[in-house]
Amino acid sequence: MNIMASPLRFIQRASFCQSALSWEGGVSMVQGASRGIGLEFVRQLLEKKEKGHVIATCRNPSVATGLLDLKKKFEERLNILPLDVTVERTIEEAGDSVRSIYGSLNLLINASGILSIPNVLQPETALAKVQKSSLMLEYEVNAVGPILVLKHLWPLLKAGGGCGTERDVAVVANLSARVGSIGDNHLGGWHSYRASKAALNQLTKTISVELARKKDPVSCILLHPGTVDTDLSRPFQRNVPEGKLFTKEFSVERLLSIINNTKLSDNGKFFAWDGQEIPW
């Protein structure tokens, strides 16, 4: 360990935080927060910390009962905003709201994603079942949406860095999936979902290179939550091995531990829920 580097880094960070708008406990944003893993992220960010503000976004906040219940309990710390990842205007408007209220951001979690929609979208078990509409829809929601959110929130993350938190950097955590790994693909199938998550991985990795080149105090990581008992996975849980179906509480607790310990050197990495790196 370089004993001279730590004090210098502390001085640089203190100087940066003095020039940036800092909120005690930090400001976190969870995109795709109305249910499932996203909602659980919001709950744990609020309940496991006494300080810090959380912005939760979803397509229709008025019917997001889980978020509305949390709002009653954490009225001063939780802000709910409308955002639809398929409509860039709503992303830009949400970013403008965050900018006007908070001025900076320390954590962005992109949690939205789709795998199946009854009578519309089903994971393909063979090439013959692949449809253009499925490929385009999953790409739009699972890959394009999160990157557009990052596009509009990046200046706020740069302004926030790790100020007000225990981290040295702001963190962007995009929820991916192990099936998005090309190197780990030994079973095939699920063409649209695999491809959309592989695209998310590549886009996130490319952005991480750009942020590193600019020396921004932001670390972009990808997270695989495991197979979690949510609406997304419920139709496909029959073949999950015993002990490999996680609760939302367990998965999010593990993922938050990874996020809270993320360093600048982790920028561009792909982690599973247990902290192990996943091959591209």
Q: What's the pLDDT at 243?
A: 67
CA angle 226, 273, 166 (to 5 degrees): 145
**Do the beta carbons of residue 176 and residue 223 sit within 8 Å?**
yes
Longest dimension (CA), the chain: 61
Tokens for 217, please give them. 């105090």
Compute the average pLDDT of residues 12-39: 81
Instruction: State the DSSP H helix or E strand holding residue 75, giving kind and residue range, or none if neither.
Output: none
The residue among 164, 202, 162, 167 whose CA lies nearest residue 182 is 202
User: Is 33 a residue whose pLDDT tops 50?
Assistant: yes
Residue 233's pLDDT band, with cuts at 50, 70 and 90, is low
Query: Strands 245-246, 27-31: parallel, antiparallel or unpaired by DSSP?
Result: unpaired
- Rounded Cα gap, residues 2 and 85, in angstroms: 43
- Rounded Cα gap, residues 248 and 252, in angstroms: 6
Q: Which is more confidently placed, 268 or 232?
A: 268
DSSP per-residue letters across 78-122? EEEEE--TT-HHHHHHHHHHHHHHTS--SEEEE----S-BTTTB-
Q: Considering the entire predicted model, what is its pTM?
A: 0.90
Name the percent of the chain lying above pLDDT 70.
Answer: 88
The count of residues in the chain is: 280
**Do the beta carbons of residue 107 and residue 28 sit within 8 Å?**
yes
157's CB contacts (< 8 A; 6+ apart) are 104, 105, 106, 108, 170, 172, 216, 218
Residue type, 129: K
The residue among 37, 35, 102 whose CA lies nearest residue 67 is 35
Compute the average pLDDT of residues 48-55: 94
- Rounded Cα gap, residues 223 and 129, in angstroms: 28
Q: Which is more confidently placed, 117 or 208?
A: 208
The residue among 110, 130, 119 whose CA lies nearest residue 197 is 110
Instruction: State the DSSP H helix or E strand holding residue 270, giving kind and residue range, or none if neither.
Output: strand 270-272
Q: What's the pLDDT at 2?
A: 44
User: Is 102 a residue whose pLDDT tops 60?
Assistant: yes
Residue 124 vs residues 121, 130, 131, 186: alpha-carbon distances, Å: 9, 6, 9, 15
Q: What's the pLDDT at 19?
A: 52
118-169 residue pLDDT tens: 888 888 999 999 999 999 999 999 999 999 999 999 999 999 999 999 999 9
Name the percent of the chain lying above pLDDT 90.
Answer: 81
Q: What's the pLDDT at 4?
A: 46
Residue 51's pLDDT band, with cuts at 50, 70 and 90, is very high
